[in-house]
Amino acid sequence: MGKRIFYFLLTNVLVLLTISIIFSLIGGGNYINAQGGIDFGALLVFSAVIGFSGSFISLWMSRWMAKKMMNVQVLDPNGALSGAELDIVEKVHRLSRAAGLTHMPEVGIYHSPEVNAFATGPSKKRSLVAVSTGLLQEMDDDAIEGVIAHEVAHIANGDMVTMTLLQGVVNTFVVFLARIAAWVASRFVREEMAPIVHFIAVIVFQIAFSILGSLVVFAYSRHREFHADRGGADLAGKDKMTHALQMLKAYSSRIKGEEQTAISTLKINNRSKASLFSTHPDLDERIRRLSAK
């Protein structure tokens, strides 16, 4: 599962843990009342502050982190570009204008044999569309346009911001429930050990509940792929979008069983069979729904 967790989610978990530990060390979030019980109202406010802070910090870092982790080469539209690079930039800008975007996304290429592309960024004004060298080598022009249209649709739909808000709600419940569970666990040890047990239990339960909470995020990720497919069809044409998905399916079948690192929830292609921990629906289902559109 680790190779299929998208960097936004990983960053969110780490940021959430960091903020929680800092708050605990400085004595923030006093939700234990005078009787030693939990003030649920204060805990809920505390949880929301930490939860939404974590998700928005993750969103703010998303474009920078994707560039660093994937070693993306950003293409300067005003610089000297090769034919293929210029063609990618032109496609992204043309489809972005068609989608009504007033600020053009950054365009990048990352070196990888996988056939994939991704879109990310904290807002429509500060977004990034990147394609792999494998995609440029394996796909024809119509399929590449369909893939790029899909990624531009993610940006136009505001999927990153929507996912951030959803992640903030999930984070709030993760922090809230983790502290209740930690408080309960600390009741079963000696009084002098209770603070240490509570501190450690918060971290353990927060990681465990974050994994469970990721199921909600993954479910939304699968849902948004259908919308991005339809958006891509509106921008590039239904035939090109369907052709792109069919080529992705053929590629997936050809390299089935191979292992490649992927930030799958950002990308168009997730080769694993759809499940609760999948970030993308099954390609056959995506093609079927798009054909029925």
What are 63-95's pLDDT values in tens digits?
888 898 889 999 998 887 888 899 999 999 999
Q: Is 18 helix (H, G, I), strand (E, B) or coil?
A: helix
CA separation for the pair 74, 77 (Å, rounded):
9
Q: Is 74 helix (H, G, I), strand (E, B) or coil?
A: strand
CA separation for the pair 106, 114 (Å, rounded):
21
**Strand-strand pairing, 106-110 and 126-132:** parallel
* Structure confidence at residue 161 (pLDDT): 87
CA separation for the pair 232, 81 (Å, rounded):
26
Query: CB count, 10 Å around CB of 292?
Result: 6
Summarize pLDDT for 183-210 with one digit per residue, the tens: 999 989 888 898 899 889 988 998 899 8
Q: Is the pTM of this model over 0.85?
A: no
Q: Looking at the predicted structure, is the pLDDT value of residue 147 above 90?
A: yes
Q: Which positions are annotated as active-site residues?
A: 151
Question: Which of 21-30, 51-60, 68-77, 277-286 has the highest mean predicted lDDT (pLDDT)?
Answer: 68-77
- pLDDT tier at 11, thresholds 50, 70, 90: low
Query: Of residues 150 and 82, which shows the higher confidence score?
Result: 150
Q: Looking at the predicted structure, is the pLDDT value of residue 13 above 80?
A: no
